[in-house]
Amino acid sequence: MEIVFLAFILMLSIFLGFELINKVPATLHTPLMSGSNAISGITLVGALTSAGAEHTVLATVLGTIAVAMATINVIGGYMVTDRMLAMFKKKGGAK
Amino acid sequence: MGIELLVNLSYVAAAVLFIFGLKMLGSPATARKGNLVSALGMFIAVVITLLDQSIIDYKWILAGVVAGGAIGALVARRVEMTGMPEMVALFNGFGGIASLFVGWAALYGMDANTFQLITIVLSILIGGVTFSGSMIAWGKLSERIAGKPMVFGGQRIFNILLIVAIIAASAMFTLNPATPIYLYVVIGLALLLGIMLVIPIGGADMPVVISLLNSYSGLAACAAGLAINNIILIVAGALVGASGIILTQIMCKAMNRSLSNVLFSGFSAVSATGAAAKIEGEAKAMTAEDAYYVLEAAASVVIVPGYGMAVAQAQHVVKELQELLEKNGAEVVYAIHPVAGRMPGHMNVLLAEADVSYDLLLEMDAVNPRMETFDVAIVIGANDVVNPAAREMEGSPIYGMPVINVDMARNVFVMKRSMASGFAGIDNPLFFKENTRMLFGDAKEMLGNIIKAFN
């Protein structure tokens, strides 16, 4: 039953993703990509449990590397997206 | 129970923030706030996860977060806007390898059942392909390795064998999870597959590949979420997976090619169909001064940037020219082809950096119908996306691809280093048209010369 439950969540999320992204204008494709890239760093959440659970040495090592890599992805992704979006201005706007 | 419920409810909140964040990314006015909303969702998800009871020791977590955070922040701050495609490729790869490790480490935390073993293999496979594929893409984009498609005889057969081997090794691993050798084989083959998938793809097709790898990095997180039974990973991963696939589709449509055509055959394979007609005529060069005289009299100008503008770092001089033309009473707009540059929206970011208002950046479909009304079209470092052969020469490898019809403007200026053909290696009849003038040289220098003539 749990598998079915997870499959449902998966399916609905994919459809939602399609709906959300379809409307994004071409101008914002790069920030969209780096922003969604940062979201894919969510794997950090999984890495945290692996790094801290002390199952085996190998699992801790793998978890720690995963935490570092995913954090690069998350912090770098959000920061660079913000930097980019700060540059998108309309004529007559601030500055 | 109490804490577990709290953690899961917070995941729901994080998912809501991700969804709102992505929705707000849909308009330039709200996009920046949307990114912050999404970051807030990430922050909540991470902090709340630290409450999880299975976490005993925080020192390794801290070490990983500090190291990763410092590197990420440094790179994000330092990177040039022209270097954005390679940086996104790099980050994609890091996300992929993290998912691989999460899946791998999940093996040791539990007595995995078959379903979990399958999801572990999936996260290792997708994560591995994402990682090595992204590294190759990064190498190609930053020109550390040749950008040309690498193809060899028997490549297709090799890839099929590779996939068969991966399926076999994955099955063996699922049946014997205690024997690590199968796991190592799966990891090695996944990495090899990622390399094999990206090396045959040329630089001009990179927008498609980056979008696809972006999608994979999401799917890898999604698979890792299934493996460790974590809902936020599944939801967020699937959102990213879907968004990457949509971008991939948009890019493919803009090149009038199917995804499989991009992935498995370079342009060379297509060009075998029928000899293209010989292009007659002679390209006419002009000086910056002559260009100035025409521009000075022009009432409307459309600028078409391409990858060459990024290479020459010419976005700021372009903006300078725009201001001069506007001061002179001319209307200036930009026409952006969906696949101009090396990633989706590449040109838009560069022009935004140079402070060009985003409502002047028009999409191809908005500009083409009124192309005849422009006095001058200035093509800066673009080639294939303005090639009229796509419209008029049946048998040309890019025939049928939607292009910006600059040749229909009254005058066309093409800024180009030399007469060499574009990335796709296709001759461009645009250069030989009656109304086309060539400005040979570095785009930045050429624009600078025109600006000098204005002052």
Query: CB contact, 8 Å: A88 with chain B?
Result: yes
Pair of tokens at residue A64: 């720690």
With CA atoms as reference, the chain B residue closest to A65 would be B64
Nearest to B25 among A24, A60, A64 (CB): A24
List residues of B with catalytic annotation. Answer: 384
The model's pTM is: 0.87
Domain ranges of chain A: 26-87
Nearest to B108 among A40, A58, A90 (CB): A58
- Say yes or no for a CB contact (<8 Å) between B108 and A59: yes
Spell out which residues of chain B touch residue A52, defining contact as CB-CB under 8 Å.
54-58, 60-61
Nearest to B105 among A21, A66, A84 (CB): A66
Query: CB contact, 8 Å: A3 with chain B?
Result: yes
- Say yes or no for a CB contact (<8 Å) between A89 and B352: yes
Sheet of B331-336: strand order equals B361-363, B331-336, B300-305, B376-380, B411-416, B436-440
Exposed e or buried b for every residue in B366-396, given b needs 16+ CB within 10 A?
ebbeebeebbbbbbbbbbbbbbbbbbebeeb
In this structure, are residues A86 and B87 in contact, taking their beta carbons and an 8 Å threshold?
Answer: no
With CA atoms as reference, the chain A residue closest to B113 would be A3
Inter-chain CB pairs, A–B, below 8 Å:
385
Domain ranges of chain B: 79-268, 288-454
- Say yes or no for a CB contact (<8 Å) between A68 and B27: no
CA distance A2 to chain B (A): 10
Spell out which residues of chain B touch residue A92, defining contact as CB-CB under 8 Å.
357
In this structure, are residues B208 and A5 in contact, taking their beta carbons and an 8 Å threshold?
Answer: no
Pairing relationship of beta strands B331-336 and B300-305 according to DSSP bridges: parallel
Complex prediction ipTM: 0.92
Architecture of domain B288-454: 3-Layer(aba) Sandwich (3.40)
Task: Evaluate the CA torsion angle B95, B100, B106, B108 in order and state its sign.
Answer: negative
B131-175: pLDDT as tens digits: 999 999 999 888 888 777 777 778 888 889 999 999 999 999 999
pLDDT in tens, chain B (455 residues): 578 888 889 999 999 999 999 999 989 889 999 999 999 999 999 999 988 777 878 888 999 999 999 999 999 999 888 888 889 999 999 999 999 999 999 888 777 788 889 999 999 999 999 999 999 999 988 888 877 777 777 888 888 999 999 999 999 999 988 888 999 999 999 999 999 989 888 777 888 889 999 999 999 999 999 988 889 999 999 999 999 999 998 888 888 888 887 777 654 444 433 344 455 567 788 888 888 888 888 999 999 999 889 888 899 999 999 999 999 889 999 999 988 888 888 899 999 999 999 889 999 999 999 999 999 999 998 888 898 888 888 777 778 888 999 989 999 999 887 766 555 556 788 888 888 888 888 888 889 989 988 87
